[in-house]
Structure 1
Amino acid sequence: MTPHILVVEDEDALATLLQYNLDKEGYRVDVCGDGEEALIRIDEKQPDLVVLDWMLPTVSGIEVCRRLRQRPDTRNLPIIMLTARGEETDRIRGLDTGADDYVVKPFSMTEFCARIRAVLRRIRPGLAEDRVRCGDIMIDRVAHRVRRGGKEVHLGPTEFRLLDYFMQHPGRVFSREQLLNAVWGSDVYVETRTVDVHIGRLRRALTKADEDDPIRTVRSAGYSLDL
């Protein structure tokens, strides 16, 4: 699944440059210009990584970072702080607040993209690898194949994307709305019960040989992958 990056930057020219280059790198990119809007966007649909300017209107980047680190659902969300504040004390403050990396303006776009790849590999390895294993399930994104216990599992494209998303966040419970946004996209209207249909298909495909059901249903909350 293509990693989703939220760029929070109030300089229009730089925001456009970042969006262009990250699009070119193959990421899905959203942009917003102030800290309050960033928090709302993250509540609505959590990205895989946040590029966060320090100096922002309404709520500063450092405060956005602090709030995200205080919340259980965003505690491990990768954050790269992007700022003109290059003093050592500022770097230390940014990293101590919870940023995973700290990039000072002006910067090399090539190096910046390399830093994003490094953070994703370190914190969300499932987003940076062609083959991902969780328990006895292995997914190959390039060949678009799935195996469980060494045996081939045949999945439709939607079930494949569902499993891929679950394997990026093993053990985490997702609501139907969160799964709709992540797998179908926020700009596509699909009824929430559609998620149940595809979860059922995924379950049947993964348990054909009498294996344990890896999809856990959490009443009134959603689903998770437990292996």
Structure 2
Amino acid sequence: MKQLIGILLASSVFTLFIRAQENYRFCDPDVPSRSLTYKTTALLLDSTQSCGAGQYFNQTQVKCLPCPSDTFMTKLMSEKRFASCLPCLKAYGIEVQAESCTETRDATVMCTNAYFRLRDMNLPCASSCSRCEICGAGTYLYQNYEFQKCQGYDDTICCTSPDMKLVNRVCMLRNTPAPLKSEDNGSEREYFKHYVVIITFMLALIV
């Protein structure tokens, strides 16, 4: 019975692992203001049908055609075998369009005054408009001096004294030596490592 339960649990976790591989978000250098979702159900079955940036494979006419108006296909999307062009991103509410959409690149969307584009920590391309901090209020209640204006992808930075300086976006006294910058090579996101660990644990229970 114990072995059967272990097998069933391992099977369930493995199914979740497979589904996670079939659906995940990623960043595309030609899609600057949002993330894209990789779905195996929306891909071309044959890699030879990938037409390249700005085109899609028309199944009816059995040939490559340009993306329809207000849609795009990037180089990376084509390499990942996206079956159709995607609608261009539109600016709404407090958003403004900084760059227009083309057949090979999505539109760039930024924010109106008093807002900045806040990046997702896990997916930098997935950003949204967030209100700018105000020096002397809220988070910066006792920091009255603006050292960095809120714009683009950067929030306001406020310091407690006009005699300070910014070092790596941190307020420091002018006579304070700058801290050594630690190297951060980073690593590619391991989307599924937790599933692998769980599967390994479940298999260990069976044994």
Give the shorter-chain TM-score range. Answer: under 0.3
Max Rg structure: 2
TM-score relative to the length of structure 1:
0.22
Higher relative contact order (CA 8 A, sep 6+): 2
TM-score (norm 2): 0.24
